[in-house]
């Protein structure tokens, strides 16, 4: 007979392993439109969302030195929609910035996975 505590520990490990197996968020494409100081970003992410406990929950646009310029919050998992694209409009970019970095975030791993550096049109 297996003690109940051992069964509980095995269940916990298997649940955590399944959740972590989804991996980190990869940015797979970024399209940028705009000019002057205001831009729209269409960002495509890939993440093996498993449900409400582990999904890509946001992505960010940053300067190359790490200053946050914009964040798109994702309010639900995209289990059956991979990869998926979401947009963020009205992102104000300071003068002199010619490139930005885009990174994804998930609820378990935080930031990680593939990021992209993109050139801004008209700069």
List 46's β-bridge partners, or say none: 26
pLDDT in tens, 91-104: 999 999 999 999 99
Q: pLDDT per residue over 45-63, tens digit each? A: 999 888 898 999 999 999 9
Ordered by where they begin, the domains of the chain are 4-119 (2.60.40.150)
Contact assessment for residue 105 and residue 63, using Cβ atoms and an 8 Å cutoff: no
Is the pLDDT higher at 7 or at 62? 62
Asked if 35 and 119 touch (Cβ cutoff 8 Å), the reply is: no
């Amino acid at each position: 007979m297996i003690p109940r505590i051992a069964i509980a520990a095995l269940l916990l490990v298997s649940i955590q392993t399944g959740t972590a197996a989804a991996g980190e968020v990869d940015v797979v494409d970024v399209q940028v439109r705009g000019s002057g100081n205001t831009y729209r970003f269409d960002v495509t992410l890939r993440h093996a969302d498993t449900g409400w406990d582990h999904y890509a929950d946001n992505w960010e646009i940053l300067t190359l030195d790490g200053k946050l310029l914009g964040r798109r919050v994702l309010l639900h998992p995209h289990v059956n929609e991979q990869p998926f694209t979401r947009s963020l409009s009205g992102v104000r970019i300071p003068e002199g910035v010619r490139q930005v970095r885009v990174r994804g975030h998930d609820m378990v791993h935080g930031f990680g996975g593939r990021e992209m550096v993109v050139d801004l049109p008209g700069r």
